[in-house]
Amino acid sequence: MTRLVSLGAKIQQLEGLLDTKDVNDWENTFLHNVCDRTAGGLVTRRLSDKQIDRIEELWARHFA
């Protein structure tokens, strides 16, 4: 069964990976920037398509 998860919810889940060994340095910096830019996933309209693709990839690797 496929579950639908909003982009904001994905960012909130990924926020839990900040400063852990589960992400590399680049991913950690990227996630910090995304969380800051989106207020923890509340305002996602400021993200580019490329950023959204990367968020989707990270989320799928850790939570799907």
- Pairwise CA distance, residues 11 & 15, whole Å: 6
What does the block give as tokens for 57?
């990839």
pLDDT (mean) for 11-26: 96
Query: Which residue reads 């990227």 in tokens?
Result: 30
Q: For the chain, what is the total number of helices (H) and then of strands (E)?
A: 3, 0
pTM: 0.90
Q: What is the mean pLDDT of residues 35-60?
A: 93
CA distance 23 to 62: 10
DSSP conformational letter for 45: G
